[in-house]
Structure 1
Amino acid sequence: PLAELRPPAFPMGGLQSQSLLELLSTLDVASRDPDVTGIALRLDGAPRGFARALAVQRAVADAATRKPVIAYAESFGTADYLIGSAATALYGPPAGSIGLVGLRVDSFFLHDLLERVGVRPDVLRVGSHKTAAETFTRTAMSPEQREQVEALLDDWYGLLVEAIASGRDQTPDAVRDWIDRGPHRAGRAEEEGYLDGCRYPDEVQDEIVSRSEGAEKIEDLRVIDAAGYHALRAGDPGWRPLLTDLPRIAYVVASGGIRRGHGLRGVASDVFRGLFERVRRDEGIRGMVLRIESPGGDALASDLLWRSIMLVRKDKPVVVSMGDTVASGGYYMAAAGDAVLAESGSLTGSIGVVGGKLDLSGLYERLGIGRDAVERGARAGIHTETRGFSPDERGALREEMRSIYDLFLDRVAEGRALERDAVARVAQGRVFSGRQAERHGLVDALGGPLEAIAEVRKRAGLVPGERIRLEVLPRIPRLDGLRGLLGAASGLRLRGLE
Structure 2
Amino acid sequence: MREFFKYLFASMLGFFLSIIVVFFICFVIIAAAISSIDDDKTVTVGNNSVLFLNLDQAITERTPKNPFGNLPIVGGEEKDGIGLNDLLKSIKRAKNDDNIKCIYLNVGSPNAGFATMREVRNALIDFKKSHKKILAYSEVYTQGAYYLASVADKLYLNPEGALEFKGFSSELTFFKGTLEKVGVEMQVIRVGNYKSAVEPYILDKMSDYNRKQVTAYVGGLYNTFLTDIAQSRDIQKDSLYSIADNYKIREPKDAVGFKMIDGLKYKDEVLEELKAISGKTKKQSISSVSINDYAKNNGSTGSEKDKIAVIYANGEITGGEGSDNQIGSERISRAIRKARLDDDIKAIVLRVNSPGGSALASDVIWREIVLTKKEKPVIASFGDVAASGGYYIGCAADSIFVQPNTITGSIGVFGIIPNFQNLMTNKLGITFDGVKTGKYADIMATNRPMTAGERFIIQNELNRIYNGFITRVADGRKKTKAYIDSIGGGHVWIGTDAVQIGLADRIGSFNDAINAAAKKANVKEYKVVEYPDVIDPLKSLLEESTDKIKTYYTKQELGDNYLLYQQMKKVIASSGIQARMPFEAVIK
After TM superposition, the score normalised by the length of structure 1 is 0.91
User: How far apart in 1 are the matches of 2:446 and 2:503?
Assistant: 38
Residue of structure 1 equivalent to 2:559: none
Q: For 1:70-469, what aligned pairs fall within 5 Å after superposition?
A: 70-180=135-245, 181=247, 183-212=249-278, 214-217=279-282, 219=284, 222-232=287-297, 234-235=298-299, 245-264=304-323, 266-366=326-426, 367-463=428-524, 466=525, 468-469=527-528
Percentage of pairs with the same residue: 31
Is the contact made by 1:248 and 1:471 (CA closer than 8 Å) also made in structure 2? Answer: no
Shift of 1:331: 0.5
Residue 443 of structure 1 aligns with an amino acid whose one-letter code is A
Residue 475 of structure 1 aligns with an amino acid whose one-letter code is V
User: How far apart in 1 are the matches of 2:248 and 2:305?
Assistant: 51
User: How far apart in 2 are the matches of 1:450 and 1:470?
Assistant: 13
Residue 107 of structure 1 aligns with an amino acid whose one-letter code is L
Is the contact made by 2:248 and 2:254 (CA closer than 8 Å) also made in structure 1? Answer: no
- More displaced, 155-164 or 474-483? 474-483
Residue 28 of structure 1 aligns with an amino acid whose one-letter code is K
Residue correspondences, number: 487
Is the contact made by 1:8 and 1:477 (CA closer than 8 Å) also made in structure 2? Answer: yes
Shift of 1:172: 1.0
Secondary structure in 2 matching 1:321: strand
Work out which of the two has the higher radius of gyration on C-alpha atoms and give 1 or 2. 2
Secondary structure in 1 matching 2:135: strand
Deviations along 1:371-399, one digit per CA (max 9) or x if unpaired, are 01211222222210122221111111111
Residue 133 of structure 1 aligns with an amino acid whose one-letter code is V
Residue of structure 1 equivalent to 2:107: 43
Is the contact made by 1:318 and 1:456 (CA closer than 8 Å) also made in structure 2? Answer: yes
Secondary structure in 1 matching 2:337: helix
Shift of 1:27: 1.6
Aligned pair in 2 of structure 1 residues 86, 10: CA closer, same or farther (>3 Å)? Answer: same
Shift of 1:85: 0.6
The structure carrying a bigger helix percent of its residues is 2
Q: Is 1:21 equivalent to 2:85 in the alignment?
A: yes
Is the contact made by 1:250 and 1:473 (CA closer than 8 Å) also made in structure 2? Answer: no
User: How far apart in 2 are the matches of 1:297 and 1:12?
Assistant: 29
Shift of 1:210: 2.9
Residue 481 of structure 2 aligns with an amino acid whose one-letter code is R
User: How far apart in 1 are the matches of 2:384 and 2:289?
Assistant: 30
- More displaced, 288-297 or 405-414? 288-297
User: How far apart in 2 are the matches of 1:184 and 1:31?
Assistant: 36
User: How far apart in 2 are the matches of 1:162 and 1:301?
Assistant: 38
Structure 2: stretches of 5+ with no match in the other structure: 1-57, 72-78, 552-562, 568-580
User: How far apart in 2 are the matches of 1:437 and 1:21?
Assistant: 24
Secondary structure in 2 matching 1:22: helix
User: How far apart in 2 are the matches of 1:473 and 1:183?
Assistant: 46
User: How far apart in 1 are the matches of 2:177 and 2:69?
Assistant: 50
Secondary structure in 1 matching 2:59: coil
Residue 249 of structure 1 aligns with an amino acid whose one-letter code is I
Is the contact made by 1:252 and 1:474 (CA closer than 8 Å) also made in structure 2? Answer: no
Aligned pair in 2 of structure 1 residues 373, 227: CA closer, same or farther (>3 Å)? Answer: same
Aligned pair in 2 of structure 1 residues 470, 92: CA closer, same or farther (>3 Å)? Answer: farther
Aligned pair in 2 of structure 1 residues 428, 12: CA closer, same or farther (>3 Å)? Answer: closer
Is the contact made by 2:310 and 2:528 (CA closer than 8 Å) also made in structure 1? Answer: no
Is the contact made by 1:230 and 1:236 (CA closer than 8 Å) also made in structure 2? Answer: no
Residue 295 of structure 2 aligns with an amino acid whose one-letter code is H
Residue 101 of structure 2 aligns with an amino acid whose one-letter code is T
Shift of 1:45: 4.0
Deviations along 1:226-270, one digit per CA (max 9) or x if unpaired, are 2333333x4369xxxx9x825322222111111112342611111
Aligned pair in 2 of structure 1 residues 410, 77: CA closer, same or farther (>3 Å)? Answer: same
User: How far apart in 2 are the matches of 1:394 and 1:79?
Assistant: 44
User: How far apart in 1 are the matches of 2:83 and 2:282?
Assistant: 32
